Amino acid sequence: MTSATLAYTGRDARSLMRYLRNPLPSGRLGQYILSVSLVAGAALAYALNNIPYDRLLVLGLLAAMAFCLEWAPIKLRKTPLQGSSVSMSGAVAFAALLLLGVPGSVIANLGSALAYSAKEKRPLYKRLFTSATLVNSSALSGLVYMLAGGRAPIAFGLSDLAAAGLAACVYFLVNASLISGAVSLASGKPFRTLLANWKWLFLQMLTILAIGAVMALISASNQGITVFIAVPLLLVFPWYSIYFYVEKSAVIADAHEQLSKANAELAAANHSLDQKLTELRALHEIGLSLNSAQSLPSIFEQIINSVLSLVGADAAAIYLVDPHTRGLRFAAHTGLGADYVQAGQLALDGAALRALEEGRILLLDQEHNTPAMLSTPAAKAGLQSVAFLPFSVSGETVGGMDVSFRSEHTFTADDVSVLKVLAEQAAVAIQNARLMDQVHQSYLSTISALAAAVEAKDPYTRGHSEVVRQLAVDTGRQLGLPAADLELLNLSALFHDIGKIGIPDSLLHKPDRLTDEEWTLMRQHPLIGERILSKIPALANIPGIVRHHHERADGRGYPDGISAKENMLAAIISICDAYQAMVSDRTYRKALTHAAAVEELRRCAGTQFVPEVVEAFLNAVEYQHGLTLMNHSLEPLVMKAKVGTNAGGNGHVYATVTA
C-alpha cells in the first residue's frame, strides 16, 4: 500500500498536545482531511456491520498479513513520489475484496492502517488521513467491482476477471488522487502535476494487486488457508523488483544531481571565463586606441562604454583636473542628467574630492561606506551606489572617474579589479595626450614660425592668415560643421599660405601683375605647403586642405583642376582668402570696399566659389558687422562636441575640445 508524507512532520512528545489543541489544519486542507475521514468512517461502519462471520478465520488471517506487510514498506526516495512509500499490503487487501467483498477488504486494510499508525511518528491527523485513504481505496474499488458484475468469492470467469482488473485500476487511482489532493492543498502545487508523478508506479501496483487476485482465485478453488502460507511468497518478487528499481533510481538521481551540480559549476566557470574574455577584449581595444592616433575624447568614450558593459553600471563620468585652476571639469559622461552635469563642481565635493585628494578608490555602497556621503546632486539624480577612482600620472592626480548605480549595488572584488585597470588605462591615455600635445604644440610652434616668416616677407599680407582663420571658423559655424571639422579649419586656414616660403621674394613683392611664367611658379605654393605639412603626423588631414584652397567650383582652379565641392573645407578657406585679399591693399592696387568685395563674391558664386559657402560666409560677415577684420583680436576656440553614444545606446557621451 502507498502512503505519503504531507508538508509537516512532528516527532516529539509534544505532538499529542498540539493535536489536542488543534486536531486538524486550518483552511481547505483541514476541511479536505475531515471529508475524507468522514467517508472512511462511513465505509468502516458499513464493513463492521457486515462482517462475514462464516469466514472469520480467513478475514483474521488477511488482516494479520496486511498488518505485518505494512511494516516492510519501500521508501520511494529520489523518485517523483519522494517522501512516500509502497508496501505489499495492498495485495492482501485486494485479495480480501475478491474473497469477502467490500467489508472484508475494508477490515483487511484496517490492519494496514493500524500498522501505519503504530510505526509512523507523525501528527495524528496525518495518520488519520493515511488510514482513511486506505479504507476509501478498498471501499470504492470494492463498490466498482460489485457494480461491474464481480462476485465474492471470485470465480475463474471473464466477467469476474474484467471486474477485478477495473477494481484494481480504481484502487490505484483513488489512492493516488486522495494523496495528491492533500499534497496539493498543503504545498500549493498543481493537482494534475502531482497526480502525474504516480504514472511510473502504475504497473508495479497492478502487479502487486494481480498477485492479490491470484491469492483470491487459489483460495476460492477450495485450496484452503494453506494458500495464505504459500502464495504470499510470490510477493517477494515484486517487493524486490520495486526495491531495486527505487534503489537504482536513487543511484541515477544521485548521479544526475552530481552531474547537474558539475554542469552548474561548469556554467558558472564558463560565465566567469566569458566575463574575463569580455574584459580582456575591452581592455585590448582600449590598449589599441592608446597606441593609435585616436583623440582623448574618443578614448574616454571607449572607457566609459566599457565600464557600463563590464560592471553593468547605470552612469559613469570622467573628470579632469584643470592644470591652471586645479578645479575639476567633466571630460566625458553618460547616463547623467543636465542638472547633475551643470552642478559639476558641487557634485565633485565630498566623497569624490576626498578620493582624488587621497589618491585611492572610494566605494559608497551598503558594504563599504555609507551612501549618505553622496553629494546632493548625486542624490537628486537617483544615484545610490557609487565608486570613485582617481587617475594618477607620475604621482600626480590628474583626474578621476565615478561609476554609479541607481539601485543598491555592492561592488565586488572583480568590479574593483576591472575599474582599477580602466582607471589605469585612462591615466595612460591622459599621459599620452599630454605628450602628444607637447609634440603637437612643438609642431604648431614650428609651423607658426614658418607662417610668420612668410608674412614677414610681405608687409602687405601681415596678419592675413589670422584673419582668414577667424573668417573660416565663423563660416564653418554658419554651415553647422562639427567640432572636428572646425578644428581642421582653424589650423588649415592658419597655415594655408605656408608654401609661399618657397616662392622667391621678387614675386611676392612685385608691384606689377605677374607674367604667365611667374603665375606658374606662384601656383606652386599650395603644393609646397602640402609637402611641408605632410611631414607632421599630427596634422595628417590638413595638407590636403591646404593643397586645394585655390580650386574653383567650376573645376578651373589649381593645382589639380577639381571642383571645389570635393573639398568643402578648402572651399571655405578659398572664399575667406579671396575676400580678405580684396579688402586689403596690395602693391599693385588699393583695397576694395566691403560692399564691392561682397558684390564680387556674389558675382563669382557658382563659377569660382561654391554658392552655399558664399551665403554662409556673408552671413558670418554680417554677424561680425562692426568689427575691424584687419585688426580685431581672436578668442580661443572652445567647442563642446558630442562624440558618440554609450554601449547600450541609451545616452550620449560628451567631450570638451579646446583649440
Query: Mean pLDDT, to the nearest integer, of 409-426?
Result: 80
The confidence score (pLDDT) of residue 659 equals: 31
Secondary structure letter of residue 415 according to DSSP: H
Cα–Cα dist 359/353, whole Å: 10
Residue 562 has pLDDT above 70, yes or no: yes
Residue 308 has pLDDT above 90, yes or no: no
The CATH 3.30.450.40 portion of the chain extends over 293-433+647-652
The CATH 1.10.3210.10 portion of the chain extends over 464-629
Q: Are 492 and 546 in contact (CB under 8 A)?
A: yes
Provide CATH code, domain 464-629: 1.10.3210.10
The confidence score (pLDDT) of residue 630 equals: 40
CA distance to 131, 177, 181, 480, 650, per residue, from 4 (Å): 11, 12, 11, 79, 55
- Characterize 406-423 residue by residue with b for buried, 16 or more Cβ atoms within 10 angstroms of its Cβ, and e for exposed: eeebebeeebbebbebbb
How big is the CA angle at 462 (ends 457 and 464), to the nearest 5 degrees?
125
Cα–Cα dist 17/14, whole Å: 5
* Banded pLDDT at 561 (limits 50, 70, 90): very high
Summarised one tens digit per residue, pLDDT across range 360-397 is: 787 877 777 665 566 667 767 778 788 888 888 777 77
CATH class of 293-433+647-652: alpha beta
Query: Mean pLDDT, to the nearest integer, of 13-30?
Result: 62
Query: Mean pLDDT, to the nearest integer, of 527-554?
Result: 88
Could you give the percent of the chain with pLDDT greater than 90? Answer: 15
C-alpha cell of residue 408: 543598491
Residue 510 has phi, psi (to 5 degrees) of -65, 125
Give the up-direction half-sphere exposure of residue 507: CA atoms within 13 A in the CB hemisphere: 18
* Banded pLDDT at 344 (limits 50, 70, 90): low
Residue 475 has pLDDT above 80, yes or no: yes
pLDDT, averaged across the chain? 76
Secondary structure letter of residue 499 according to DSSP: G
Q: Are 165 and 63 in contact (CB under 8 A)?
A: no
C-alpha cell of residue 101: 467483498
**Range among 19-28, 108-117, 134-143 rated most confident:** 134-143
Please report the DSSP string for 543-612 in residue order.
Answer: HHHHHTTT-BTTS--SSS--BGGG-HHHHHHHHHHHHHHHTS-BTTBPPPPHHHHHHHHHHHBTTTB-HH
Query: Mean pLDDT, to the nearest integer, of 129-140?
Result: 88
Cα–Cα dist 196/334, whole Å: 54
* Banded pLDDT at 70 (limits 50, 70, 90): confident
Q: Is 641 left (phi over 0), alpha (psi -120 to 50) or beta?
A: beta
The confidence score (pLDDT) of residue 283 equals: 63
The confidence score (pLDDT) of residue 494 equals: 87
The confidence score (pLDDT) of residue 60 equals: 85
Residue 204 has pLDDT above 50, yes or no: yes
Residue 460 has pLDDT above 50, yes or no: yes
The confidence score (pLDDT) of residue 243 equals: 63
- Comparing 39-53, 437-451, 505-519, the range with the smallest average pLDDT is 437-451
C-alpha cell of residue 64: 494479520
Give the up-direction half-sphere exposure of residue 21: CA atoms within 13 A in the CB hemisphere: 5
The confidence score (pLDDT) of residue 532 equals: 87
The confidence score (pLDDT) of residue 19 equals: 44
Secondary structure letter of residue 371 according to DSSP: G
- Comparing 69-73, 242-246, 343-347, 388-392, the range with the smallest average pLDDT is 343-347
Residue 118 has pLDDT above 70, yes or no: yes
* Banded pLDDT at 9 (limits 50, 70, 90): very low
Residues β-bridged to residue 586: 589
The confidence score (pLDDT) of residue 246 equals: 64
Cα–Cα dist 463/91, whole Å: 115
Residues making up the chain, counted from first to last: 659
Query: Mean pLDDT, to the nearest integer, of 173-198?
Result: 86
Cα–Cα dist 168/343, whole Å: 81
The confidence score (pLDDT) of residue 461 equals: 61
Summarised one tens digit per residue, pLDDT across range 294-304 is: 677 777 887 78
Give the up-direction half-sphere exposure of residue 227: CA atoms within 13 A in the CB hemisphere: 21
Cα–Cα dist 72/70, whole Å: 5
* Banded pLDDT at 284 (limits 50, 70, 90): low
* Banded pLDDT at 241 (limits 50, 70, 90): low
Residue 126 has pLDDT above 60, yes or no: yes
The confidence score (pLDDT) of residue 287 equals: 61
| pTM recorded for the entire structure | 0.41
Provide CATH code, domain 2-258: 1.10.1760.20
* Cis preceding-peptide flag for 153 (omega within 30 of 0): yes
Summarised one tens digit per residue, pLDDT across range 567-581 is: 999 999 999 999 998
Query: Mean pLDDT, to the nearest integer, of 217-244?
Result: 62
